Amino acid sequence: MTIRTARPEDWPALVLIYQQGIDTGQATFETQAPPPDEMAIKYLPAPQLVAEQNGAVIGYALLSAVSGRCVYGGVAEVSVYVGATARGQGIGGQLLDRLITDSETLGFWTLQAGIFTENTASVALHHRHGFRTIGYREKLGQHNGVWRDVLLLERRSLVVG
DSSP string, 63-78: EEES-SSGGGTTEEEE
Q: Number of structural domains, the chain?
A: 1
Query: In whole angstroms, what is the distance from residue 76 CA to residue 79 CA?
Result: 10
What pLDDT, on the 0 to 100 scale, is given for residue 74? 95
**152 occurs within a structural domain:** no
Query: Which domain covers residue 87, as residue numbers?
Result: 2-112
Average pLDDT over residues 5-13: 97
* Calpha distance 36→67 (Å, rounded): 23
pLDDT (tens digit per residue) in 22-63:
999 999 999 999 999 999 999 999 999 999 999 999 999 999
Enter the pTM of the model. 0.94
Helix H or strand E encompassing 91? helix 91-105
pLDDT band at 70 (very low <50, low <70, confident <90, very high): confident
What is the distance between the alpha carbons of residues 81 and 48, in angstroms, rounded to a whole number?
12
Question: For the domain that residue 99 is a member of, what is the CATH number?
Answer: 3.40.630.30
Q: Tell me 35's DSSP state.
A: P
Report pLDDT for 157: 97
Question: Phi-psi region for residue 36, left (φ > 0), alpha (ψ -120 to 50) or beta?
Answer: alpha
> Does any domain span residue 107?
yes
Contacts of 54 (CB under 8 A, 6+ apart): none
